[in-house]
Amino acid sequence: MPELSIQLQGVSLCYRLAKQRIPSFKEYAIHFLRGSLSYEQLWALRDIDLKVAKGETLGIVGRNGAGKSTLLKVISRVLKPTQGSTAIRGNLAPILELGSGFDYELTGLENVYLNALLLGHSRRDIETRVEDIIDFSGLGDFIRAPLRNYSSGMQARLGFAVATAWVPDILILDEVLAVGDATFTAKCEERLRRFHDAGSTVILVSHSPKAVLDNCSRCLWLDDGRLRADGESAKVLDLYLRQHGTDPGEHEAGKLRTPP
Amino acid sequence: MIEIYRYRDLVLALVARELKVRYRRSAIGFTWTMLQPLLMMLVLQVVFSSLFRFQLANYPVYAMAGILFWNFFSQSIVSSMNSLRGNAQLLKKVPVPKAVFPISTVASGVINLIFALVPLLLILVITGHPLTPALLFLPVAILLAALFTLGAGLLLSPLSMFFNDIVEMITVLLSVLMYLTPIFYPKEIVPEKMRWIVRFNPLRSILEVFRDPIYYGKVPPWSHLTVSCLIVLVALAVGAYAFRKSSDRIPFYI
């Protein structure tokens, strides 16, 4: 049995949505006294069992709202599951969304520090890597400009450069490779391979079958919060694409067959 | 707690950012920190020397020490409640220990308090108040005040995520608390019947630890210090426990 890096057991996560939004304490008290507090439960993840060995590269596919991002948030300890247990070993480098943790008024360089500090690195640690980070991001003189002037591609480059400046035990990427240009995507994939060789676990959410196929040996298919398939990337993607084809015509046909 | 220690550089950066914003945005930001308590003290001096008669020598020093303490406490509570809301987007996406935000808010409050001590020392000198070695006890007093405030901030700040009118409610409660604490009046003027309120007000204990060295020129007696340390420990324990309990729910309310 290889060393486990991530283990989820019976993980379910429920977003409790108030039927009427109750944002204030005053309204909450009124509704509470009337006994009219009601919630709608939205189960974003249902009973997920998952074991990921150290050094595995795992892709996650699924339609919008299938629970992919929620699963990544559970793995990166941002959200605590409603039920079930999680065991995550090692340090994380999560990139859950473009520009998470960026301050748009600060310059790129100041954001490098802020972002790396948020990831739990010490100032001295950052100083030794800052040159590499700027170099990898390829932003050149833009690094001294405020972040609000950056395009989304530039933000992605900077975010990726900071998060991957240290070899993590677990790297988590949510749909970030898609926004960069081809050269940068190639650079990112090269870095992913290097991490893989160094023994990091990589988890990648993507809507691009090619990105999953190129970077991941194993793939999960999430559907409505449940694990629909788990296995070799080529096989799972084949199943997935057969149901939700990339071809629009096929997609329509698939939709028609599903009862409303 | 160990995790927070790992993020100490982040706390420092957040404090630096908060101070920079405060002092860069307004040209007189820095002066304002010092001027505001001075003006407040003048108002109190006028009101209380002509309307009410206290048996207090050198009232300006008494009042100003109280104001500095109160400003630190109430501003830190309100901004630590806002600190979680202000960083809501971040809490949803980055696995960072959430306590770093209230902690760095209280820490920058301490720095503001230290700046504001400058005009207080000026008043001490101008009014000819004796400068005693007891003033050297102030760092300990400030530390106790900071830890007590941190406890209260940790307890209250998660509430601001759950309800968006809670900050206003706390502001009202704070102004009630201000009148229940002998900030600008001597506790002796409180009628016998109501004195228990002042007596059992934990904030009064912490305030006196801060004011005794400044106004009376003495280090608070051991008995008082022991009680104050216990209050601080209880506040921290309750705050840390409540924050831990509720922090997992915070991202769901963004």
* Token pair recorded at residue A28: 């909450």
Answer whether A229's CB lies under 8 Å from A240's CB: yes
Query: Which of B3, B7, B9 is the best mutation test for A, with the most CBs of A within 10 A?
Result: B9
ipTM: 0.79
Task: Report pLDDT for A258.
Answer: 40
- A120: nearest CA partner in chain B: B7
Would the CB atoms of A25 and B13 count as touching at under 8 Å?
no
- By C-alpha distance, which of B104, B22, B17 is closest to A111? B17
Question: Which positions in chain B touch A122 (Cβ < 8 Å)?
Answer: 8-9
- Asked if pLDDT for residue B7 goes beyond 60, the answer is yes
Strand order across the A92-95 sheet:
A92-95, A170-174, A201-205, A57-61, A218-223, A226-232
Would the CB atoms of A120 and B251 count as touching at under 8 Å?
no
B248 touches chain A (CB under 8 A): yes
State the Cα angle at B51 between B45 and B55, rounded to 5°.
Answer: 70
Task: Report pLDDT for B3.
Answer: 77
Would the CB atoms of A118 and B163 count as touching at under 8 Å?
no
Answer whether A206's CB lies under 8 Å from A172's CB: no
Task: Report pLDDT for A188.
Answer: 86
Give residue-wise pLDDT tens across range B164-218.
888 999 999 999 999 999 998 888 888 888 888 888 999 999 999 999 999 999 9
Mean pLDDT of A112-134: 92
- A116: nearest CA partner in chain B: B10
Question: Which positions in chain A touch B86 (Cβ < 8 Å)?
Answer: none
Residue A217 CB partners (closer than 8 Å, separation 6+): A56, A57, A232, A233
As a residue count, chain B comes to 254
Answer whether A117's CB lies under 8 Å from B96's CB: no
pLDDT above 90 as % of chain A? 38
Would the CB atoms of A78 and B92 count as touching at under 8 Å?
yes
Answer whether A119's CB lies under 8 Å from A102's CB: no
Beta partners for residue A93, in sequence order: A171
B93 touches chain A (CB under 8 A): yes
- By C-alpha distance, which of B121, B165, B117, B169 is closest to B139? B117
- DSSP H helices in B127-221: 138-162, 166-180, 195-199, 202-211
- Asked if pLDDT for residue B40 goes beyond 60, the answer is yes
> Predicted confidence band at A153 (pLDDT cuts at 50, 70, 90)?
confident
A–B: how many Cβ contacts below 8 A?
61
Would the CB atoms of A79 and B251 count as touching at under 8 Å?
yes
Measure Cα distances from B155 to B2, B109, B187 in Å.
20, 17, 28
Task: Report pLDDT for B203.
Answer: 95
